[in-house]
Amino acid sequence: MTDIVEHQRLFIGGRWVEPAGADTIDIVSPVTEQVVGRVPHAVPADVDRAVAVAREAFDHGPWPRTTLAERVAVVTRVKDALAARHQELAELVTLQNGSPKLFSVRGQALSAVGAFGVAIAAAARFTEEDERQGTGGPVLVRREPVGVVAAITPWNIPQLTIAGKLAPALLAGCAVILKPSPETPLDALWLAELCAEAGLPEGVLSVLPADRGTGAYLVSHPGIDKIAFTGSVGAGKAVMAAAAQNLTRVSLELGGKSAAILLDDADLTVAVPAIVGGTCAANSGQACVALTRVLVPASRYDEVAAVLAGAFAGLKVGDPADPTTVVGPMVTRQQQQRNLDYIRIGREEGAKVLTGGGVPAGLTTGWYVEPTLFGDVTNDMRIAREEIFGPVVCLIRYESEDEAVAIANDSAFGLSGAVFGADRERAVGIARRVRTGTITVNGFRLDLAAPFGGYKNSGIGREFGPEGLAAYFEYKAVNLPAPEQN
């Protein structure tokens, strides 16, 4: 895929239409630093049009009034098309994101297929209404679609974050306006074609690539009933403030600074591959769930530091199209510079670079950062408290289990994490004490059948699994007459 991927029209309400503005967005390869794609830049007038057709589709159209089984059939066709063409999707994501090929297949394309699958499975078990006995008589509890959804997704893992919002919203009977990141919109427009071919009715889906200005207009629009956002903490706070003006429902999946706790009996042959997989190999470290704080008992610190540094140093960094590459470039030059700035800050704070610490030798074109492991980190350092979003990991000593839990919880975030130890019950006990939305014992996993989201600054609400589907419904209580009143 070497030619420029170009779209001249926007997808609004199921139709390809001329944009209201003349501006375009260039998509630049993180590998070659050359333009590889071009799409229209949506403006507020496009948002108004998308909201109008979405409102018509939701308020008067067939989609919310079809049966759940009928919606499942359409969404299943979308999922099946994704599965059949996942290699094509993976190539597109590698082109625009720079994700290593293996991760683009498994972590980008197939994870999106999986997210659609678990949403469909949850819908198959879902009941739109049920009757229960209330305090004054029978009550019919209905679950009705929340309405028009603004789904705003980030650049790092675009298809999975789209699927986590789009699949449950469509299954619930909502209309969706999707605003992908301006850095990586190609896969979203590609998905729009699949949805149209699957038979999604007109008005139900729009895709509007745009910058933050248009995004701000979208989330403040009075025609929106729910906002589903994935992105940074700062942007999430801005979304929540805008939504408050209209009391728009909000779900936010934000950042993380997750801790991996190695207990004193941890098996490094298990822990180290999981930590590598949950940091540098997870989209080149550009993942909100990354295990960026590794907590190690002081008695094993030197041993763990040597083994983990060796593992990081041995990772292949380079062309993401090469199937042997583990770490590709950062998505943008700005993100590369952010990582390099934090590496400089870590050195200034007194942390020791155990491996990495700069731009890989010979990779002067492309936005690469070496897998970097910092030792002698304390939890009050900026590199231990702020989300870096790259292949940069902190090694932190602790003296007792209580101190390890305290360090893990001493964070503004609470998104993911891991505990490693030979005694399963002991490790599970530690996991229960860490205030985080997802935590894995002796591994690193984001399970799409389970609720995903965070504590504290990591967000509000949950995605995936039945909890993710339930987030797109409103609940209505219909108080029924007592039997003798019938």
Catalytic center residues: 253, 288
Q: Which two tokens stand for residue 242?
A: 């805008």
Q: Which of 232, 239, 277 is nearest to 106 (CA)?
A: 277
Q: Which of 240, 218, 98, 212 is nearest to 156 (CA)?
A: 98
| C-alpha span between 468 and 228 (Å, rounded) | 11
Place of tokens 């998905």: 191
Amino acid in position 161: T
The sign of the dihedral angle between the CA atoms of 296, 300, 305, 310 is negative
Backbone angles phi, psi at 365, to 5 degrees: -105, 135
| C-alpha span between 298 and 434 (Å, rounded) | 20
Amino acid in position 138: P
Place of tokens 């919606």: 71
Backbone angles phi, psi at 315, to 5 degrees: -75, 135
Q: Which two tokens stand for residue 459?
A: 């967000």
Phi-psi group of 126: left, alpha or beta (phi > 0 → left; psi -120 to 50 → alpha; rest → beta): beta
Residue 418 bridge partners (DSSP): 260, 440
| C-alpha span between 94 and 106 (Å, rounded) | 12
- For 370-452, strand residue ranges (E) read 372-377, 392-398, 413-414, 417-420, 440-441
